[in-house]
Amino acid sequence: MVHEPNSRTSYTKTRGIMSATKPIHTIPLLLWIAAQVCGCTSSATEHDERLEHHVPAHRPNTFGDGVRQLRPRLMRIAEAPPNNSAIERQREIKELIEITGWLPVLAAESPLNQQDWERAKARSEDLLRAFHVANAGTQEADWQNTMTQVDAVIRSLELLMPAAAEAHVGTDDKSPSASSANSPSAIKPTN
């Protein structure tokens, strides 16, 4: 003799257990389906692309390109009109500091010998210190004074450009005074 209410209760309990375990078994399946639909699969190419970092547009390709950007950028900062946007000015300063920071790496990628690379690194560090001091200042004159102070440092970097350009065929890494830079006494450390 089967009691209707008991079999119904049993069915409800079984149904309740099934409905409780059903999501547990279907969660991995639903996640897999969602990943396939959304395109969340990983291939070697996609993985490699995510590992590559963004290279800013203002990053120079060569040491000479970087050195050539120093004076014009510094002049834009130092001679900016008073009504120039503070945001634009900070962007210019940030880019100048970044370019200066990349110079040792770019010099290392060039055919400079060890002594010249060390000179380029030291001069870049000198520039960075001067730029950070000027950036901490509160007046426009801070950048104008910095421009005057770092002129010799930039000049010493410009004198290294011909040696750095030897292996960069097709680039225009020429110093403003390339003829004087070829003499052995042309490159002198500035302190």
Distance CA 101, CA 163 (A): 20
Residue of higher predicted confidence among 94 and 84: 94
Other CB atoms within 10 Å distance of the CB of residue 110: 22
11 contacts: CB under 8 Å, gap ≥ 6: none
**Mean pLDDT computed over 48-70:** 84
127-156: per-residue pLDDT in tens? 999 999 888 876 767 888 888 889 999 999
Distance CA 107, CA 160 (A): 9
- With CA atoms as reference, report the closest residue to 163 among 140, 189, 184: 184
